[in-house]
Structure 1
Amino acid sequence: MRIRRLIPAVLWLLMVSLAMFTPGRSLPKLPEFSFGDKLGHFLLFAVLSFLWLRVGTINEKRGINTRILITNLLVFCFIFPILAEYLQQFVPNRTFDYMDIVANLVGGAFGFIVFFILYKANNRLV
């Protein structure tokens, strides 16, 4: 596993965790627009899944390590997004919202799709 792929993934995971578990009154006020919150959830988890899918999934021969890919996919595209939203209900001034879970999961799936498109195109980002 290359450290240059692990560091951005860990830093983004910390940032997502901080954003998800900061008490509601401590969050900065942002301009509100329709679905702004859902867009934020989508983007946070799209980037999170993309970065973690890069960690250890591609070997030296540009092949996919299926075991690591599936593990990262399950943890960062499904388990963590659902668990994070569930745990938000225990954070002061934060709530549990099923539509946030949907936005998290769709974002995670989008990150997965982008990862595979770039992998198939032999892009340097993967």
Structure 2
Amino acid sequence: MLHLIDKRRLRYWNVWFVVGCLLISSVVWGSLMAPSDAPSLISNDKVMHALAYAVIALWWLQLVRGRVSGLSVVVATVLLGVGVEIAQSFHPLRHFDYWDMLANLIGALCAAGLAALGANRGLYRLERHLLGHR
């Protein structure tokens, strides 16, 4: 059996798991809601897609271990984006967009690159800081 989950490193792994699920839920919810006229912090839709999927992928890359599971996170993140785009095609005020899927892919790949450079240890560092371990 593959051990894809790395609970040994993170003391509050279950909390981080729930936060990760909330991140996914908020992106899916925001993607399937009717577009609003409310101002956004990021005006470029493709940049927002890339950032959202980079955050999701990088978050989950901190909760797994190994190259195989890391690749699984990136693939799952990209498939999430494809699924959301398909779901949007059934929404009367949304539409299917290949460019959005490309932006999602770029975000997930950027997260993988950042993780390879060590950015996937942020939660571990946060826990050590909060618990007083240096």
Please classify the TM superposition score into its range, dividing by the shorter chain length.
0.7 to 0.9
Q: For 1:64-103, list aligned pairs within 5 A.
A: 65-76=66-77, 78-103=78-103
Aligned-residue offset at 1:84:
1.2
Q: How many residues align?
A: 113
| Kept in 1: contact 2:62–2:121 (CA 8 A) | no
Among candidates 41, 59, 70, match of residue 51 of structure 1? 59
The reply to whether residue 17 of structure 1 matches residue 25 of structure 2 is no
Structure 1 contact 118–125 (Cα < 8 Å) conserved: no
Tell me if the contact between 2:49 and 2:107 (Cα under 8 Å) persists in the aligned partners: yes
Q: Which runs of 5+ in 1 are unaligned?
A: 58-64
Are residues 1:29 and 2:30 paired? no
> What is the CA–CA distance in structure 1 between the aligned matches of 2:67 and 2:102, rounded to whole Å?
25
Structure 2: give runs of 5+ residues left out of the alignment: 1-6, 8-12, 125-134
- TM-score, reference length from structure 2: 0.71
Match of 2:130 in 1: none
**How much does 1:28 deviate?**
4.5
Could you tell me how far apart the structure 2 residues matched to 1:44 and 1:95 are?
A: 18
Over the aligned positions, Cα root-mean-square deviation in angstroms equals: 2.4
Contact 1:46 1:110 in 2 (8 A): yes
Give the TM-score normalised by the residue count of structure 1.
Answer: 0.75
Q: CA deviation at 1:53?
A: 1.2
Note the C-alpha offset of 1:100. 0.9
Question: Would you identify which runs of 4 or more consecutive aligned residues in structure 1 move more than 6 Å?
Answer: none
Hey, what does 2:4 align to over in structure 1?
A: none
Deviations 1:5-58 (A, max 9, x none): 31221111111111111123xx3522698x71111111111101111111222x
- Alpha-carbon separation, structure 1, partners of 2:48 and 2:24: 15
What letter is aligned with 2:76?
V
Give aligned-pair identity as a percent.
22
Alignment match of 1:41 (pick from 42, 46, 49):
49
* Rounded Cα–Cα distance in structure 1 between residues aligned with 2:56 and 2:122: 18
Amino acid at match of 1:82: V
Residue number among 8, 16, 39 corresponding to 1:5 in the alignment: 16
